[in-house]
Copies of this chain bind each other. A is one copy, B any other.
Amino acid sequence: MLKETRPPELVVSQWLNTSKPLSLSGLAGRPVLIHAFQMLCPGCVAHAIPQTQKAHRAFGGTDLQVIGLHTVFEHHDAMTPVALKAFVLEYGLTFPIGIDEAGVNTPLPVTMQLHGMRGTPTTILIGRDGNLIAHQFGQIDDMALGAMIATALAADGDAVGIRKTAGDNKSCAGDRCKSP
């Protein structure tokens, strides 16, 4: 189910919450959790962004790198860098957040296109070997995400037998996810 591929590099126009830019190549050997969101995506605000903040805190003692990616594909004049900075401050987000590079002749930003993301929220987990472990559009249950991250931390390896969705995962029910 998970493509045994090396995900493309992040293309970011501006970084928040970090003094120096991050790159997947620069993080080689460490598991990376990327959470793509939009600040005006209700499902992101209610579930996925707090979940990412929680993961950043819960795994703060490990070498997991949590990265937020602001993949604006609609309402570009509302979700500006200035607005994002206010949002990050108000919601108390402390993990590094990259602003996905605006697309040319398309509302879709560059990294979103390169990674084939379907919308927001999208969660991407990359292993120590640089290969993709998970790429999921919609909500992931906290327990399942915790398990996937821990498996990535523990091994070079594969998360055999851990289901991505548990009991209360409503995925994209109620139109809370956003897709272009």
Contact = CB atoms under 8 A, between A and B. Distances in A.
A179 B82 CA distance: 20
Interface stretch (A2-10, A18-26, A46-54, A99-107): A46-54
A42 interface: yes
Q: How many copies does the complex hold?
A: 4
A51 B141 CA distance: 11
Interface residues of A, number: 54
Contacts of A55: 143, 166
Interface in A143-180: 143-151, 153-155, 157, 159-163, 166-168, 178
A51 B166 CA distance: 10
A62 B160 CA distance: 8
Given A54-B167, A57-B167, A86 B78 contact: yes
B90 A42 contact: yes
A79 interface: yes
B155 A54 contact: no
Contact of A150 (B79, B85, B90, B148): B148
Contacts of A75: 83, 86, 89-90
A178 B86 CA distance: 13
Interface in A96-153: 141-151, 153
Contacts of A162: 58-59, 61-62, 150, 153
Contacts of A78: 80, 82-83, 85-87
19 contacts: A40-B83, A54-B143, A57-B167, A58-B143, A58-B162, A61-B160, A62-B161, A78-B80, A79-B83, A141-B142, A142-B142, A142-B146, A144-B146, A146-B147, A147-B149, A148-B150, A149-B150, A151-B151, A153-B161
